[in-house]
Structure 1
Amino acid sequence: MINQAIKKSIKENSDEMISIRRKLHSEPELSWEEFQTSQFVYEYLTELGIEARKMEPTGVVAELKGGKEGKTVALRADMDALSVEELNTDLAYKSKELGKMHACGHDVHTAMLLTAAKSLVSIKEEISGNVRFIFQPAEEVATGAKAMVEQGAVKDVDNVFGIHIWSQSETGKIACNSGPAFASADIFKIHFKGQGGHGAMPQDCIDAAIIASSFVMNVQSVVSRTVDPQQSAVVTIGKMVVGTRFNIIAENAVIEGTVRCFDPATRNHIEKQLKIYADHTAAIYGGNAEVEYIRGTQAVINGEESAQLVQEVAIEAFGESSLYVEKPTMGGEDFSFYLDEVPGSFALVGSGNTEKDTQWAHHHGKFNVDEDAMIIGAELYAQYAWSFLTK
């Protein structure tokens, strides 16, 4: 199953891969602003002889046609950075952009997939079928994958595979379990309206601060008392804006939060319950509520056959000890939009190493990656494509 030429190519090009990653890390671009990154990716793929096309506004899709007829497998990497200030100030390749940073490893994903593409070009004539490379913008705002799908990124694709570097597990470890991997991730915003007035005359007012506070204190019972305990779900209030001055009773209050779960029926139920709780809470105090519920990513559900193939590839390429079981996370990942269209799976590749200080959580200002993990990720990309098309 494992192609030794792929393994050799990736090892030979590992220094270049790290150099690419460091370049991208120092030049981070936010969601839907990945113009330089996508241009670099496009030019790199074109120089490899892979037919590439730019997507609107900042995506890139390329396809390597093998020497023999066969199926088409897609490999995906995301490219966008975050609005995070880098705290690793001693890095030679630290971010040059104030307040912007690759704090989630998308620079690593891009570099790994480019290197995987280079290794597959080296065995092009042996490939039975086609390998499509998807370089996606705007994963961090959960809209990039959907836009890529709408532009045909997985049209006529038989299988899709993605990787996320994972600082919570140690370098050299790989997880890809069938079933739920990442939760659906939705956003809600609730505007409570009361009646403002002087802080010394509460009898003439309807205090929006009280309404919103009451809602925040009670909304957790949506999960604890209306959702089946065997169905995982999280409701989090992350932002609350209320009032204008210390001695004015607030007329308006706005809260924002997120809902995470794996089951579509649970998702529908929570959305409905949030509106019921908001309306009833506001009514108790004589105010009213407007609820905006925005559906973000779907849950990432790994296909059984695809996840099994990832495990087989990992064992043969890196040894049985490389595999571990990662519990499903309530984090969101818009790779789910590809899985809505075609079968596939999403793997985690460990990059945590306390000796190199790369154990920091994703989205943290000190997030960094053990670059030894990149060889594993690049090979997993390429060997998965080879194995899927060979089978």
Structure 2
Amino acid sequence: MLLRDHPSAKALEAWLIQLRREFHRYPELSFEEYDTQKRILKIFGELGIKARKIADTGVLASIRGTLPGPCIALRSDTDGLQVQEELTGRNSDYISRKDGVMHACGHDGHMAMLFGAARLFQENRDFPGEVRLIFQPAEEIPPGGSERVISEGGLDDVDAVMGMHIFTNHESGSVGFRPGPFMASTNRFEVTLKGKGGHISKPESCIDPVRMATDFISSLYPALEKKLEPDKYVLGVGRIQGGAQFNRTPDSVGILGSYRTFDRETTDIIDRTIKECLDEVVIKYIKPGEEFSGFSDYDLDILHGYPVLINDPVFTDAVNSKLQESFPELTIYPEIEKTFAAEDFASYLQKVPGIFISLGTRNPKKKIVEINHSCAFDIDEQILITGTEIFYTISLDFLKNPDKYLDSQKYFNPKISRNSLKTRS
């Protein structure tokens, strides 16, 4: 039975909604979450939970049970986006008070749900091990805040990790996940094509970087289509910039784009193809003669951002079994489609086993249909209690039965083995 169906849950649900709206009113951009950090520390203080700062604008806290046992980390992101929120029929009470900044990706809800789990564990301390709570800054901008959290000890002695994200791509209150690759890697490419500027009336004396850019983009897409299946990647150009006057051929043109993949091999193919297409364009536009020496060239900078997010198969299977057992009324998608969205939670999953879950919020009856990052994005606040209980239920089950969540051959940990025996004795 879901917590919302229990009479004692009404006060908790009202508190979750209040927290979510408070965070929503005062969003802050990546690594600028200082006031958010103060609010988080204040709430932890009210709950009687010790917490400390991490990753500059993040917060780390722990709740220890009365018995020895393993440690599971729960993570929420905290940053907003550079978006001007649109006033709708729903959000007048909690619309962003900061011009040009908005919680347009559900991070306000993530924080509320993590506090919900923290409150439940704090009020019910009869459990083994430790629950670690990570309020992580800067998820929205690579390289993200997760690497900072890891480098500052946020995952030290952690045996498993769990995260959740609110999305409008499936119905409100439903949950989705999949074992293995779930969310894509992020990769950015920046190209500067160098021509030879001059008066537009004398094209023979110029090398036109605008035409070079056009040829590069026109050749890149079909080149990739010949090498890769369409479900393996997405690629797009987000900015083309160059020139200042209508009657002058510019000296250079800049191109900024990105691509997303689900494996390193695909990433390497795209890396090589970008360079091959640039080489072909440069050769095509080389002109003979001393006056053209050194022109028709390019600079290429590729930044590999967040890695592919890979859910641990054993952990994911155990989560699915527990959710099916504990929440038969929930709609569960245990093999939801992979998404080209990306998350720096992937870095945690490279260190310890765990899962990242998608929590649906789409509700056409309430007109909650806008996609994440939209200026009219909102959430169905009824899902906050659902997400809270999922955090609590899975974490508690892991702490009591860690062996069923971990591949013993891959993640053997003597501490867990001993404590699991103690728990069952």
TM class, shorter-length: over 0.9
Give runs of aligned pairs for residues 118-133 of structure 1, distance below 5 A: 118-124=119-125, 126-133=126-133
- The equivalent of 1:149 in structure 2 is 150
Judge conservation of contact 2:83–2:100 (CA < 8 Å) in 1. yes
- Counterparts of 1:101 and 1:144, CA distance in 2: 19
- The equivalent of 1:22 in structure 2 is 21
- The equivalent of 2:303 in structure 1 is 294
Give runs of aligned pairs for residues 234-383 of structure 1, distance below 5 A: 234-286=234-286, 287-319=296-328, 321-324=330-333, 325-383=335-393
**5+ residue gaps in structure 1?**
none
Counterpart residue type for residue 111 of structure 2: T
- The equivalent of 2:108 in structure 1 is 107
1:176 aligns with 2:180: no
1:282–1:15 Cα change, 3 Å:
same
- Counterparts of 1:10 and 1:135, CA distance in 2: 24
1:12 aligns with 2:22: no
Counterpart residue type for residue 248 of structure 2: I
1:369–1:5 Cα change, 3 Å:
closer
Cα displacement (A) at 1:6: 12
1:313-336 per-residue CA deviation (whole Å, 9 max, x = no partner) reads 322333165202420001111100
Identity %: 34
Judge conservation of contact 2:2–2:327 (CA < 8 Å) in 1. no
- SS of the residue 1:223 aligns to: helix
- Counterparts of 2:269 and 2:8, CA distance in 1: 50
- Counterparts of 2:28 and 2:391, CA distance in 1: 24
Q: Which shifted more, 168-177 or 88-97?
A: 88-97
- SS of the residue 2:36 aligns to: helix
- Counterparts of 1:10 and 1:241, CA distance in 2: 54
Judge conservation of contact 1:174–1:314 (CA < 8 Å) in 2. no
- Counterparts of 2:303 and 2:6, CA distance in 1: 43
- Counterparts of 1:7 and 1:213, CA distance in 2: 61
1:95–1:230 Cα change, 3 Å:
closer
Cα displacement (A) at 1:363: 0.4
- Counterparts of 1:82 and 1:203, CA distance in 2: 47
- Counterparts of 2:4 and 2:22, CA distance in 1: 27
TM-score by length of 1: 0.95
1:43-65 per-residue CA deviation (whole Å, 9 max, x = no partner) reads 21233222211013101111111
1:346–1:235 Cα change, 3 Å:
same
1:208-240 per-residue CA deviation (whole Å, 9 max, x = no partner) reads 10011111111113421223x386112211111
- The equivalent of 1:201 in structure 2 is 202
- The equivalent of 1:135 in structure 2 is 135
1:12–1:306 Cα change, 3 Å:
farther
Judge conservation of contact 2:55–2:145 (CA < 8 Å) in 1. no
- Counterparts of 2:300 and 2:157, CA distance in 1: 39
- Counterparts of 1:120 and 1:110, CA distance in 2: 16
- Counterparts of 2:6 and 2:265, CA distance in 1: 44
Rg larger for: 2
1:12–1:80 Cα change, 3 Å:
same
Q: Which shifted more, 104-113 or 352-361?
A: 352-361
Cα displacement (A) at 1:288: 0.8
1:49–1:138 Cα change, 3 Å:
same
- Counterparts of 2:69 and 2:37, CA distance in 1: 28
Q: Which shifted more, 46-55 or 297-306?
A: 46-55
1:326-361 per-residue CA deviation (whole Å, 9 max, x = no partner) reads 200011111000011101110011111011121110
Cα displacement (A) at 1:146: 1.3
- Counterparts of 1:93 and 1:134, CA distance in 2: 25
- The equivalent of 1:95 in structure 2 is 96
1:265-312 per-residue CA deviation (whole Å, 9 max, x = no partner) reads 211221222122223212311211111111110011111122123222
Cα displacement (A) at 1:386: 0.4
Cα displacement (A) at 1:8: 7.3
- Counterparts of 2:114 and 2:317, CA distance in 1: 21
1:73 aligns with 2:82: no
1:314–1:198 Cα change, 3 Å:
same
Judge conservation of contact 1:3–1:386 (CA < 8 Å) in 2. no
- SS of the residue 2:305 aligns to: strand
- Counterparts of 1:248 and 1:342, CA distance in 2: 56
Runs of 4+ in 1 over 4 A off after TM superposition: 2-11
Q: Which shifted more, 137-146 or 41-50?
A: 41-50
Judge conservation of contact 1:223–1:234 (CA < 8 Å) in 2. no
